[in-house]
Amino acid sequence: MEVDLCSHLKFNGEKFYWDSTITDLKVFVSCDLKLTGRWLSPGGEVKTFTSDTLVLKWHGKTNKWITLSGSSTEVSELSQTLQSLCKKAEENQAAIVEIHQTLPTNNGKEKPSVDLAAPTANQTEYSVRSNNDDKSYEDNFASIENQLKTLESKFLDKTLSIANDLNNLKKYCLNNECMNILRQENASLKVENEALKDSLYTAKFALSDLNTKVKDLEHEKASLFHN
């Protein structure tokens, strides 16, 4: 769910912060930011994500802050995207708080007791007020139910989107694995090719030496016949 991950991203006007784990950050970068690249651990708690055009560096769970570098255009666009996600997370959090605030409450006070055996003018007034309160509660619950349905719909849409992103990520990883195998095979073929070149060179040298010896023998043989 988007708010679960985006809520870990903070922006103080100057720096971005990530207050969750590196595992969550990797999922966030892949699924929410839809970036492809590789993660490295240069040392200590620092983790870096590198793509073709930019580098995202997370300074670990102690410092938590994130720095961006690389192509100025890509860095600017990513910074705007991160700020937009921060704003959206804040709006979602505010909506949740608003839902809680709309929950009916009597502020801890009990409703006054009523003597049903002897109705009075006060009891009649209380009855009218109670009916109005009940209607207000029903309206509040209806409003909350509608908001929950909206959030549920958004949650389901995001779940499907994340599932799709994960499938794409699996395909990417599979393709990456295939590429790694091909690179290894290519490197192995290059080594074998160099070995064959060396063998060929050795064979040519041996053949040239053999031809020289044959010519020398033929020359020696011809000399013997002339003598």
Summarize pLDDT for 104-129 with one digit per residue, the tens: 555 545 444 545 445 555 555 555 55
SS3 content of the chain, % helix, strand, coil (to 5): 70, 10, 20
Q: Which amino acid is at 136?
A: S
**Over the stretch 186-206, which tens digit does the pLDDT of each residue have?**
787 788 878 878 777 788 778
Structure tokens at 157: 């849409």
pLDDT at site 36: 93
Long-range Cβ contact pairs of 58-61 (< 8 A, separation 24 or more): 58/18, 58/22, 58/25, 61/21, 61/22
Distances (CA, A) of 213 to 32, 124, 199, 220, 224: 75, 132, 21, 10, 17
